[in-house]
Amino acid sequence: MAIVAMKYVLFLSHVRESEAVLRGLQDIGVLHPEHLKRATESEQLKNLEHKLHVQNTVIKSLSDRNVKNHISDSAILPSIWDVESWLSDEKKFIDGIAKVEREIEKQACLGDFDPEDVGNLSGSGVSLQLWGAPKKEFEEYAKKSEVHIHVISRHDDVCFATFSLKGPVKIPFAVEREVPKSSLSALKEELSDLRRRLESISAQIDSATVHLPSYRKKNAALTEERDFYETLGRAFEDESVSAFAGWVPADNIEHVAEMVHKSFPGVFMKARDPMEDESPPIKTKNSWLASVFEPLLHILGFPKYGGIDPALFFAPSMMLFFGICLSDAGYGAIMILIGAVAKKLLSAKIPAIRFVSNMTILLGLTTVVWGLATGSIFGIPFAQREWILVDVAPDVGDPMLLFKISIVAGVLHISIALMISIISSNNFSERMIKAGTLFVLWGGALAMIKYSIWPYIAGAGILLILTFSSDAKNPLKRLGAGIWGVYGLTGLLGDVMSYARLFGLGVASGAIASVINVLAVDVRGAVPVVGILLSIIVLLLGHSFNFAMGVMGALVHPARLHAVEAFPKCVQLSGAPYKPLEKI
């Protein structure tokens, strides 16, 4: 539960040594680069940025194709530029096919004829026009028309051509069609050719997907090179002197100094503590349990430097809330199985999967414990319920018991957040205000259970808030700020009631599982033979859907309770992550 102390380090070197120094620091992998001055980007950095952009685009496009078990025709790795060109050609062919198909659809009713023949007729003084008109109006027009009419097709409308030696004619009820520039047969031939070329280029691109691991490896190396030259580009250069700086964990300062002084004796290095107006990057050092939940916590944000790391507070409460929300031992067992299998099969290939697997297993364990405590195992309605510790089933138990547990959990959760704030704050008045809020919270909680001491506890809290809400010497200003602070306590009830969502999700998960079981039994009894198969399908699909939605809700809503109700009372998530310059 600790934020690692950082040192701001400045390096001064000869320009010719700056690249070598950065390479050495990159090998150590502890310097978080900091801008000294925005230098003009080098041509090399621009080229690296462009190439990295192209590689990222190509890798994403290949990954999105979802080609399975494709065997490449060649063991040679196509260049990233070749694949980019293929992808560009594929898009052109797709757009071209769509355009030709629209033209064929538009021209279908006009039939197949050579546009050159139209030109020959025009040269002979014959005006040819193409039309589309409703059948009824066309029949009446055809009977009395003085121009020659040729019917091309009859569908909902009539497509016809008119031939006139007196120039273009006007037909008010008809829509004149543009004379096509290509014949229908030529368009179909063009479409066939485009499809053949698309098939060929798509096959080439699909064959390149087998090289995705190689492209990703190249991308990692290119990213490493880009990061290096980007950091080098930040260097402040004045004639022959180069300066660059960054943040280094305090524990690594000696190691960095030893490397610099041994390998680059001419380089000046100066380390200092952060200034008040500076915001060093955040690196945390936590226990195993807290570190497992850090990736999820960091989605919400990073704590401010000099503040408190809420990871150890976040981990157990997240586990508890998740178990209450999912609330089914069967679903928890599935999570444990998924986490264990993923850890066994994938952790060697994808190191990051180890954290996700461990988190899945821990969340599954709390779900199993809570599911057994509430007697919920895949929604099965047990006849003998004496073994159930907390029976909250809607029909035979007391669902309101879960509501009370959720509210108590909310009071405890907010109380811990307030106590963390009291301990970590350096401002005495702020501590007293937080203590007053805590007293009011518990005064209200004790009032709900009709404990006679509650007015004294709540009154003491209100008095603290009235007294310490302002440092102004004017008593009226202090009183006004105090009254405003007391008014702000009205939101405390809403904060506590937000935890009722734990009750809602917990009851819903078990109720839906039970309904799925009842539906499966009804289906099995309705159809003699096929009913068993249908019943199995209902169980699999129903529980899969309920499991997926339950896990999603059990992650999102507890995370929201931390982000909205608890963290604002004890921690500022305004920090930036520690990203050292390192080899990948």
pTM of the model: 0.69
Determine, yes or no, domain membership for 264. no
The predicted structure's pLDDT at residue 276: 72
Instruction: Please state, in angstroms and rounded to a whole number, the distance separating the CA atoms of residues 417 and 358.
Output: 25
The alpha-helical segments, DSSP class H, found in 108-153 are: 115-123, 135-144
Task: Identify whether residues 426 and 546 lie together within a single domain.
Answer: yes
DSSP 257: H
Determine, yes or no, domain membership for 372. yes
DSSP 567: G
Nearest in space to 170 (alpha carbons), one of 210, 142, 129, 211: 129
Distant-in-sequence, close-in-space partners of 318: CB < 8 Å, separation ≥ 6: 293, 296, 363, 558, 559, 562
| Angstrom distances, CA of residue 395 to CA of 141, 315, 382, 510 | 77, 33, 12, 12
CA 487 to chain centre: 38
Determine, yes or no, domain membership for 15. no
| Angstrom distances, CA of residue 81 to CA of 1, 93, 224 | 47, 18, 20
Determine, yes or no, domain membership for 312. yes
Instruction: Please state, in angstroms and rounded to a whole number, the distance separating the CA atoms of residues 107 and 104.
Output: 5
Task: Name the 3-class secondary structure at 555.
Answer: helix
DSSP 122: H
- Please say whether the beta carbons of 161 and 150 come within 8 A: yes
Determine, yes or no, domain membership for 193. no
DSSP calls for 473-534: SSHHHHHHHHHHHHHTTHHHHHHHHTTHHHHHHHHHHHHHHHHHHHHHHHHHHHSTTHHHHH
Helix H or strand E encompassing 149? strand 148-154
- Please say whether the beta carbons of 355 and 292 come within 8 A: yes
Instruction: Please state, in angstroms and rounded to a whole number, the distance separating the CA atoms of residues 103 and 188.
Output: 10
Nearest in space to 293 (alpha carbons), one of 320, 258, 257, 328: 320
For 227, the token pair is 């990061």
The predicted structure's pLDDT at residue 39: 47
CA 477 to chain centre: 47
The alpha-helical segments, DSSP class H, found in 64-208 are: 80-107, 115-123, 135-144, 184-208
For 462, the token pair is 């209100």
Domain stops at, among 148, 182, 216: 182
- Please say whether the beta carbons of 327 and 514 come within 8 A: no
Domain stops at, among 159, 182, 205: 182
Instruction: Please state, in angstroms and rounded to a whole number, the distance separating the CA atoms of residues 270 and 580.
Output: 18
For 71, the token pair is 């065997």
DSSP calls for 404-446: HHHHHHHHHHHHHHHHHHHHH---HHHHHHHHHHHHHHHHHHH
Determine, yes or no, domain membership for 484. yes
Domain of 162 in residue numbering reads as: 113-182
Domain stops at, among 158, 182, 206: 182
- Please say whether the beta carbons of 325 and 368 come within 8 A: no
Determine, yes or no, domain membership for 62. no
Nearest in space to 545 (alpha carbons), one of 525, 523, 516: 516
- The number of distinct structural domains making up the chain is 2
- Please say whether the beta carbons of 17 and 264 come within 8 A: yes
Determine, yes or no, domain membership for 16. no
Task: Identify whether residues 402 and 549 lie together within a single domain.
Answer: yes
* Secondary structure percentages of the chain, helix, strand, coil, to 5: 65, 10, 25
For strands 175-177 and 6-14, give the pairing: unpaired
Q: In what side-by-side order are the strands of the sheet with 157-164? A: 148-154, 157-164, 127-134, 175-177
Task: Identify whether residues 306 and 177 lie together within a single domain.
Answer: no
Distant-in-sequence, close-in-space partners of 152: CB < 8 Å, separation ≥ 6: 109, 110, 111, 130, 159, 160, 161
pLDDT in tens, the chain (584 residues): 589 999 989 888 887 888 888 888 888 888 998 876 544 456 667 888 888 888 888 888 888 887 765 555 455 678 888 888 898 998 999 999 998 888 887 777 767 767 776 667 766 777 777 777 887 777 777 777 778 787 777 777 778 888 877 777 888 788 777 777 777 788 888 888 888 888 888 888 888 888 888 888 888 888 877 776 676 666 555 567 777 889 999 999 999 999 988 888 888 888 888 877 788 999 999 899 999 999 999 999 999 998 889 999 999 999 999 999 998 999 999 999 999 999 988 887 887 888 899 999 999 999 999 999 988 899 888 877 788 888 888 777 888 999 999 999 999 999 999 999 998 887 888 888 889 889 999 888 888 877 778 888 888 888 888 887 776 666 777 778 778 878 888 888 899 999 999 999 999 988 899 999 989 988 887 777 788 889 999 999 999 999 999 999 999 999 999 999 999 988 888 889 999 988 76
Nearest in space to 501 (alpha carbons), one of 553, 456, 428: 553
Half-sphere exposure of 416 (CA within 13 A, CB side): 14
